Amino acid sequence: MEINKSSVSESRVRGNKRPRSPSKDEGRPVKRERRNSQGKIRPSPSTAKTQKGSFKVPSGHSEAAAGSAPGDTWQLRSQLQCEINQQLARRQLQSEAAVLDSTGQSTTKPTSSNSKERLEDIYDKGALIGSGVYGNVYAGIRKKDGLPVAIKEVRKDDGEEVDIPALGGKIPKEVALLMQLSIPPTCPYVIQLIEWFDGPESHFIVMERPEPCLDLNRYSIDCGGYVSEELAQLVLLQLLLAVFHCEERGVRHGDISAQNLLIETDSLLVKLIDFGCGSFHEGSSDLGAALHQPLDFDAMYTVLRISAMLFHLVCGMLPVRSRETGSLQFPRAVSEEFKNFMNWCISRDRTKRPTLEQIAAHPWLQKGWKS
């Protein structure tokens, strides 16, 4: 089942109008706060007021500032490009990659549910951030140190379970996926599991909660319906690193979309969230198993989802083709490199579409921007 998620309507798109680049201290505050969550959700109207520990927009956030990457992001972009190049080299040698340490578990990650204490003994559960088919998500605070967390409640009747012998039997599928992704070395572009609780009627999944942040769909709406190519580059680089990490761990996300990406509005760091639709690659659900085997993913579907999302971010609408030429139509001024990139990714001939590795090496992602 899917949730009806908000999308950018054409009425919100501002044609070819480009957001102006603000100075360091300049910005028009957003009139109302938007919050996000770690599940299949829609923003909850009940969270309109500022509450301790909830997702929020920083006071300096403005459409202009959000729509274009600030000049000091060069270091972030260089770091991401370096990580991408390392990943590409690593994936070329995938057949010779070392097997993950079968005993390696992070000392900060659980191997089973927290059965000794109750959720309410450790965390203060705050406002409802959002809700959906796969559960309700609440803002939370860890009592001992004030750490912001997201608490996802999934009813046992609704949540799927998987059998993990290494953990003593059946556990919630989403918990198992997050555990797999949390085996060191972890990925900063994938949401991290803190712990989980097995209640009488529901499972409670406690995850990190970046502050301040928005989901990428809401972020682009607040920018006027689209973002700059430079900012889209930063998003795509981080998303590719997240997807590469998932593949190496034998995990399919299953629902890559702007709603399932959190962007920290002050740092522009991105995290892939919501593994409610995720699944294991066959034979990889045993934690600590050999995970560098070739993966039988529906790669073309993943590429198409990523490409359509990227087009929507930059152009403010879903891809549309010209009836006369059959080529993609671009409703606002974009670079020739981006046009070439999108026409390749969303080619009518599926056999001509790029792989994730080819996307990561495309000239558009290598393109620099003047600050």
What positions carry a catalytic annotation?
255
DSSP letter, residue 45: G
Token duo for residue 86: 């390392």
Which are the contacts of 270, defined by CB distance < 8 A and separation ≥ 6?
189, 216, 234, 235, 238, 239, 242, 261, 262, 263, 264
Give which of 173, 119, 172, 110 is closest to 149, Cα–Cα: 119
Cis peptide before 185 (omega within 30 of 0): yes
Which are the contacts of 286, defined by CB distance < 8 A and separation ≥ 6?
164, 165, 166
DSSP letter, residue 18: P
Token duo for residue 286: 């045993």
Q: Quick one: 157 exposed, middle or buried, by C-beta within 10 A (0-12, 13-18, 19+)?
A: exposed
Which are the contacts of 109, defined by CB distance < 8 A and separation ≥ 6?
179, 182, 183, 193, 194
Q: Note whether 64 and 20 are within 8 A (CB).
A: yes
Dist. CA 250–CA 280, nearest whole Å? 6
Secondary element (H or E) of residue 97: none
Q: Coil, strand or helix: which one is 285? A: coil
Report which residue type is found at 23. Answer: S
Q: Quick one: 187 exposed, middle or buried, by C-beta within 10 A (0-12, 13-18, 19+)?
A: buried
User: What angle separates helix 336-345 from helix 299-315, to the nearest 10 degrees?
Assistant: 150
Q: Note whether 253 and 275 are within 8 A (CB).
A: yes
